[in-house]
Structure 1
Amino acid sequence: MPNIEVRPATLRDAKAIAQVHTFAVQEAYRGLLPEDYLRALKPEERQAYWREAIEYCEPQVMVALEGDKVVGFVGYDRSRDPKSRPTTGEIWAIYAAPSHWQQGVGLALWDAARDGLLEEGCTTATVWIPLCNERALRFHETAGFKRELATAKTSLVGGVRIEEIRLKRALH
């Protein structure tokens, strides 16, 4: 089990976050999304998004470090869902480097995000997960999230229809 430290992201972390994001998506969705779509994903294209998120705290971003290497990240803030209560937070994104899956990185990031959402006055948290991503569903359900079956929606990703569902849990 690696020694993982979690801290707020800095602008210097944007490149590493973009790399973790890209490589984790490519691995998690291999066989579920078209291979050419996954190969075309480039960290450079995500780096600007993460720089802006860090700079403007929208979402708030935390990184997981092993030594001085970024091995995961979480972005969280108030829920983006229309009609959600102001006390509802959302995990916008949470990813660990594939080399660090099942080593406690995701849990450390979730703990940090939960603490941050509680500090913001949130009482519940939600997250949207593609139904085909069984690893992410298992992780969130282990962390206490429950599926909200009536929220299922379809998104088009890489020319493939992906069913997503919202999961929710109390923060206390």
Structure 2
Amino acid sequence: MSSYQVRPATLRDAKAVAEIHASASRAAYQGLVPDEHLGTVPPEKRLAYWREAIEYSEPQVHVALDGDQIVGFVGFDRSRDAKSKPTTGEIWAIYALSSHWDKGVGLALWDAAREGLLEEGCTQVTVWVPLRNERALRFHELAGFKRELNTAQTVTMGSVKLEEIRLKRALS
């Protein structure tokens, strides 16, 4: 049982979500992309994105709390992949403060996303992960996701190209 409370995000949480997204993605991508490409999204643009996501539930956003402090978040919804079935969900983003890595925050967030996707009628879930992000790959594989080897794609982060792969699992 997780010691973290997870609840749907409110508009008041948008700033904390944006800040966690910025700091955790910097930590997660350290060594994968050059430092000058880390944190290139202006804070006001990141905040606007998460405010809109929370307001319109696209994606649905849940936050993990350690006491009163937000320490992580997950964004999930239907899959954005063009050829996916309507019963396929997707983890759009899942991040925790690096100080809370390996402490159960990710698992608590994954459990909340799984429950939310099941309530939406989804039977499968996918997530896109950079191939070189071993921590994220390990997390998702421990949560039962399997790599779909024929899905590798190249994405651009600043002027850097990253190879991503889709992972998938059943929700039940």
- Do both share a fold (TM > 0.5)? yes
1:110 corresponds in structure 2 to 110
Asked if 1:168 corresponds to 2:141, the answer is no
Where do residues 22-101 of structure 1 align in structure 2 (5 Å cutoff)? 22-101=22-101
Aligned-partner SS, 2:169: strand
CA distance in 1, matches of 2:145, 2:161: 24
Superposed CA offset, 1:21-45 (max 9, x none): 0000111111111111215444333
Aligned-partner SS, 2:65: strand
CA distance in 2, matches of 1:67, 1:42: 29
1:154 corresponds in structure 2 to 154
CA gap 1:101/1:43 in 2 versus in 1, 3 angstroms: farther
Any unmatched runs of 5+ in structure 1?
A: none
Superposed CA offset, 1:51-105 (max 9, x none): 0000000000000001111100000000000110010000000001101000000
Aligned-partner SS, 2:115: helix
CA distance in 1, matches of 2:78, 2:2: 31
1:133 corresponds in structure 2 to 133
**2:99 maps to amino acid:** S
Mean Cα deviation higher: 116-125 or 33-42:
33-42
Displacement after TM superposition at 1:161 (Å): 1.2
TM-score, normalisation: structure 1: 0.96
What is the root-mean-square deviation in Å for CA atoms of aligned residues?
1.4
TM-score, normalisation: structure 2: 0.96
CA distance in 2, matches of 1:157, 1:19: 19
Displacement after TM superposition at 1:158 (Å): 2.1
Asked if 1:124 corresponds to 2:95, the answer is no
Aligned-partner SS, 2:86: coil
Aligned-partner SS, 1:83: coil
Does structure 2 retain, via aligned residues, the 8 Å contact 1:15–1:43?
no
